[in-house]
Structure 1
Amino acid sequence: MAENDSQISDRIQQLDSSDGEVRQSARHKLVQTGSAAVPALITALDNSSETMRWEAAKALGEIGDPAAVSPLIEILPDDDSVRFVAASALISMSKDSVPQLLSALIKDTARIRDGACFVLHHLASDDENLRGPLTPVVEALMSLDSSLRVPVEAEKALSQFS
């Protein structure tokens, strides 16, 4: 069943319900809607409600649309629960997220350091093709001089994805 804009909008609002079953049902229907729901879910990432941001990030990760990668990177500085869901979504979209995450680290390491470290460490641990390029970036992220080392290591890693 294709959802129209009004139905998508209604489902987005339900993501902030105090009733967990309503939220879960709305998220499930938005995921079923797929890419048509992605723009509204991306907008929901900017909502003041942590619950709404968490649900939107979770749905975007389940949909797996590459258009969501950059907005998910943008919310890595969010509260812990939202950061974890955004990071998990980026992990699930590794092929699309790694180059954009490395580019973001080159520009602004401090703001996304914790979330980026979680994502890249997980990907390097689980995928031996990513281990070589990502391990030096993870080590740099965990170092005391990360603000100096990360952009250099991220640039080196990014060159291996071009």
Structure 2
Amino acid sequence: MAINESQLTDWISQLDSSDGEIRQSARHQLVQAGSDAVPALINALDHSSETMRWEAAKALGEIRDPAAVEPLIEILADDDSVRFVAASALIGMSNDSVPALLRALINEPARFRDGGCFVLHHLASDDEKLREPLTPVVEALMSLDSSLLVPVESEKALSKLK
């Protein structure tokens, strides 16, 4: 569905409305717009409003466009409610999100520790093919030596998934 810039801008701004029905309606319209809305939603992830970031992450999770994976990983370091929505979106896009999340954990294990642990634990629990490579990463994320172990275990997991 092609949308015009003006309508897209209106829907994005409505994601920060104090009225929940307006936010939900705008999110629904953006999800219906699909990939056309993804760049604007990715930009909304940087907004100062937690509500805006939450709604944008929720919409991106429903659209499931691979272009949103890395921006969603970036907000795993956000406040708890936004982190949870971003993590849920990444779980829904597991085929695209796992390699990118493992690379993020190699580079910045402390920054993505909590959100990464949530995503990978969930995926390892639900997907038999991911259990073996991801379980050591989850264990490393929960260890006292996580900053040392996570990059090593993430590299091993990436190799096993290739």
What range describes the TM-score normalised by the shorter chain of this pair?
over 0.9
Q: Could you say which residue in structure 1 is the equivalent of 2:148?
A: 148
1:19 is aligned to 2:19:
yes
Question: Residue 4 of structure 1: CA displacement?
Answer: 1.2
Q: Return the alpha-carbon distance in structure 1 between the equivalents of residues 161 and 55 of structure 2.
A: 31
**Secondary structure at 1:133's aligned position in 2?**
helix
Please list every run of 5 or more consecutive structure 2 residues that lacks an aligned counterpart in the other structure: none
1:92 is matched with which residue? Answer: 92
Q: 1:8 corresponds to which residue?
A: 8
Amino acid at match of 1:93: M
Match of 2:66 in 1: 66
2:137 corresponding residue in structure 1: 137
CA shift, 1:154, in A, is 0.1
Structure 1 unmatched ranges of 5 or more:
none
Q: How far apart, in 1, do the equivalents of 2:39 and 2:120 lie?
A: 26
How do residues 53-132 of structure 1 correspond to structure 2 at under 5 angstroms? 53-132=53-132
Root mean square deviation, CA, Å: 0.6
Secondary structure of the residue aligned to 1:47 is: coil
- The CA distance in 1 between the partners of 2:160 and 2:13, in whole Å, is 41
**Count of aligned pairs between the two proteins:** 162
Instruction: Give the TM-score taking structure 1 as reference length.
Output: 0.99
Quote how far apart the aligned CAs of 1:161 are: 2.2
Percent identity between matched residues is 81
Corresponding residue SS for 2:46:
coil
User: Which letter maps to 2:2?
Assistant: A
Work out the CA distance in 2 between the residues paired with 1:111 and 1:82: 15
Which portions of structure 1, spanning 4 or more consecutive aligned residues, are displaced by more than 2 angstroms? none
1:2 positional shift: 2.7
